[in-house]
Structure 1
Amino acid sequence: MTILTKPEAEPVPQGSEHFLSVRDLYVQFATEDGTVKAVDGLSFDLDRGKTLGIVGESGSGKSVTNMAILGLHNPRNTTIAGEIVLDGQELTGASPKTLEKLRGKKMSMVFQDSLTALSPYYTVGRQIAEPYMKHMGASKKEARDRAVEMLRRVGIPQPQTRVDDYPHQFSGGMRQRAMIAMALVCDPDLVIADEPTTALDVTVQAQILDLLKDLQQESGTSIILITHDLGVIAHTADDVVVMYAGRAVERGTVRDILKTPEHPYAWGLLGSIPRLSSSVDVPLAPIPGSPPSLLNPPPGCPFHTRCAFVDQVEGDRCRTERPVLPEGRGSACHLTADQKRDIFIEQIQPRLR
C-alpha cells in the first residue's frame, strides 16, 4: 500500500469503543488523465446497532469510501491510506484472503443496482446460498433451506418456489429484497446499503427501509446507508455525514442535520427539496454550478466556487485555506458560528418551512 503525503489530519473523536472507525482516509485512482482524489481525508465512526447516513451528490466519494471498507477496489490503480478499523481489526492493508473471509460474514453490501449485481446465470436461491456454504460450512441442503428462510424473512411470497427463479423473473422491488437476503444470510455485523431504494416507487422504498430497520432491531446490525435522498435519511439514520468532493463537510445527528444544518452545502441540499406547503408557482432553488473535478480540486474550501456566502468571510480564506471539520458536531466552513446562525435563521429556515 502506498502511503500518501497528507495535510494535517482533522481532529476526530478518540478511543476504540466504536464498532467501525474510519480515520483520515484517502483513496486515489490513477487514470490516463491524472490522479483522481476520490476520498480526501475522511473520518467517521459507527457504533453497534446504529445507522450512519452518508449523503452527497454523485461523485462526492460516498460509494468509493464504502468500497474501500470492503476492500473491493482494484489494487492495480488504487492507492489507499488511513485507518479503517472494524471491531478492533485493521482493514487498510489487510491481505485479500483476510478481507475475503470477512466479506459476507462480518460485513456485507447491498449494491445499488440489483439487476447487475445479481448474476443472470444462477438462480436467486443459489446466489443467496453460496456465501452461507462458504462462510458457515453448510451443506447444499442446509444452504438451500437457509435461502428459503431468508427469502421468507425479507417478504418474498412463496419462497419455496421462488428460490429457484432467476433474477429476471423478479420485479425490481423483489430483486432488492433478494439482495438484502443475500447480504444478511450470514448475519453480518455491518451492512452497507448503497442507494438501496434507487429506481423503486415510493411504496416499495418505504417497505425496503422498514425491512432494514426491522432486521437491524432483530440482529443488532450496524448499517451504513449511502444516499442522496434526505427523506430516506430522515426515515432511517441515527447520525449523518455530509460529503462533498471527497471530504466530510458536516456531521451530526439526523436531527442536527435536518433541523439546524450549518454548512452552505447542506443548506443547498435541503433547499432543493420540493415541499407540499410551497406554492406551485415558486421554483425550486437548486445549488448553482457543478461539483469540482476530483482530478484537480480547487484550493481552499472545495465548495467555494458554488457558495453564495464566500464574500461574508474575512479575506480570501475560502479560496486559499482548507476549513477543518471540528470534533463531534460541526461543519467545515469558515463562516463564524454567529454568521451561520444568523444566515440560517434569516435566509435558509424560511425556505424550509
Structure 2
Amino acid sequence: MTTLTKSEATPAPAAGDAFLSVRDLYVRFATEDGVVKAVDGLSFDLERGRTLGIVGESGSGKSVTNLAVLGLHDPRNTEIRGEIVLDGQELTGAPERALEKLRGNKMAMIFQDSLTALSPYYTVGRQIAEPYRKHTGASKREAWGRAVEMLEKVGIPNPKLRVRDYPHQFSGGMRQRAMIAMALVCDPDLLIADEPTTALDVTVQAQILDLLKDLQQEFGSAIILITHDLGVVANTADDLLVMYAGRAVERGTVREVLRSPQHPYTWGLLGSMPRLNSAVDEPLSPIPGAPPSLLSPPPGCPFHPRCAHTQEVDGDRCATERPSLPDGRGAACHLAADRKQTIFIEQIKPRLA
C-alpha cells in the first residue's frame, strides 16, 4: 500500500507548540484476511520534559502508533494517513534517509523484549557505540568510551568489563538497562518506552521506572510510556491516554484520569487491578468479553459490545454513532457527564477503595 502524507478525512486542527504532535492518525495493514484498522483517527500532543502514558489491552494500537512515529512500518503492506510532527518536522511520508537521521538521534525507542531487540552476534558495547558513531561522527575509541559511560549511567556494575559481554550474558533487568543505554546514547529529545518493565520482577520494575525519571530530568527528554498496567503510569507519567480498538477513548492528566475516570473502559481497567487491602480470596473484576477484531470493528462506540451502561443512553447511539473525544480532558462516551459522575461515585469508586 502507498503511504500518504495527508489524511483524506476532515482536516485536523493545526498542531500547536507541542514537541510531538499527532493529528488524525490512521494505520492500516493489508493481510490475507482483509485490512486491519490498527489505528483509527488518533490525535495527541506531547511537550518536552513530560511523560505521556498510553494504556490499553493488547491489540489496542499502542505500539503500532509509536512505530508509525518512528517510521518503522513496512511500506509494502502499510497505509499511514494523518500528520506526525516532531519539533516542527513532518514525519508522515518523509524519505527513509531523513528518518534514519532522526532514529537513534532525535528519537529513540526502548523495545518490549530486550533479548530479541539486541543482536546476539555483537557485544553490548558495540551495539551501544554504533549509533553514537553514526550520528556524531565519533571515533571508535570515543564511541567505546561513550558506551562505557552510558552503561555506568544506567547502573550496570563494572561497565568497563561488562561492555564486552554479549546480551545472553546479561540478566533480564541488565539487558533492559542496556537497551535504555543504547536508546539514550545520543541524548534523544523523544524516548518511546514500549512496556519496558514487562517480565521483570517488581524490584527491577521500580528501578527501571526510577531510572527513566532520573534520565528524563538529566536530558530533558519527552517520554512516551506504553503499558497495559495503570499502576505503572500512576507514579511515572504526567498525562494519560487510554486506547481501545485503535482509538483514544479517554485522556487527561494522570491525576484527573485515575481520580475521576469518565469512560467505562477505564473503569474496567481500574476495576481489574488487584488491591493491597483486599482479601486474599477476593476475586478480580475482569472486563467481560474480548476486544473486537480490527478487521471489522463494530460501528459506533467500539466498546459498546462489552459495556454495561449502553441501556442508559437514549436510542441506539452507542451501536451506531461514534462518540467524539473532546480536546483536553474528556472521554469518548455517549453517557451524560452527570450520569458518568453518579455511576463512578456509586458503583465504581467503592470497588477501587
1:278, CA displacement in angstroms?
1.5
Q: Tell me the SS of whatever aligns to 1:109.
A: strand
Partner deviation per Cα, 1:136-193 (whole Å, 9 max, x = no partner): 0000000000000000000000000000000000000000000000000000000000
Q: Quote the residue 1:162 is aligned against.
A: 162
Q: Quote the residue 2:147 is aligned against.
A: 147
Structure 1's 241 and 260: CA in aligned 2 closer, same or farther, altered over 3 A? same
1:235, CA displacement in angstroms?
1.8
Q: Quote the residue 2:216 is aligned against.
A: 216
Structure 1's 290 and 26: CA in aligned 2 closer, same or farther, altered over 3 A? same
Q: Quote the residue 2:185 is aligned against.
A: 185
- The whole-number CA distance in structure 1 between the counterparts of 2:337 and 2:273 is 25
1:279, CA displacement in angstroms?
2.1
The answer (yes or no) to whether the contact 2:15–2:23 under 8 Å persists in 1 is: no
* Aligned AA (2:322): R
Q: Quote the residue 2:57 is aligned against.
A: 57
The answer (yes or no) to whether the contact 1:16–1:88 under 8 Å persists in 2 is: no
- The whole-number CA distance in structure 1 between the counterparts of 2:163 and 2:209 is 23
Partner deviation per Cα, 1:300-320 (whole Å, 9 max, x = no partner): 000000000000000000000
Partner deviation per Cα, 1:269-310 (whole Å, 9 max, x = no partner): 000001011123321110000000000000000000000000
Q: Quote the residue 2:134 is aligned against.
A: 134
- The whole-number CA distance in structure 2 between the counterparts of 1:204 and 1:284 is 25
- The whole-number CA distance in structure 2 between the counterparts of 1:214 and 1:281 is 38
Q: Tell me the SS of whatever aligns to 1:305.
A: helix
Q: Quote the residue 2:234 is aligned against.
A: 234
* Aligned AA (1:29): F
Q: Which runs of 4+ in 1 moved over 6 A?
A: none
Q: Tell me the SS of whatever aligns to 2:304.
A: coil
Q: Quote the residue 1:70 is aligned against.
A: 70
Unaligned runs of 5+ in 2: none
Q: Tell me the SS of whatever aligns to 1:58.
A: coil
The answer (yes or no) to whether the contact 2:7–2:83 under 8 Å persists in 1 is: no
- The whole-number CA distance in structure 1 between the counterparts of 2:342 and 2:294 is 32
TM-score (norm 2): 0.97
Q: Quote the residue 1:23 is aligned against.
A: 23
Structure 1's 5 and 101: CA in aligned 2 closer, same or farther, altered over 3 A? closer
1:15, CA displacement in angstroms?
4.6
Q: Quote the residue 1:172 is aligned against.
A: 172
* Aligned AA (1:313): V
* Aligned AA (1:54): I
* Aligned AA (2:174): M
Q: CA RMSD in A?
A: 1.2
Q: Quote the residue 1:247 is aligned against.
A: 247
* Aligned AA (1:197): T
Identity of aligned residues (%): 77
Structure 1's 71 and 240: CA in aligned 2 closer, same or farther, altered over 3 A? same
Q: Quote the residue 1:112 is aligned against.
A: 112
1:342, CA displacement in angstroms?
0.5
- The whole-number CA distance in structure 1 between the counterparts of 2:343 and 2:16 is 37
* Aligned AA (1:25): L
Unaligned runs of 5+ in 1: none
TM-score (norm 1): 0.97
* Aligned AA (1:135): H
- The whole-number CA distance in structure 1 between the counterparts of 2:247 and 2:339 is 22
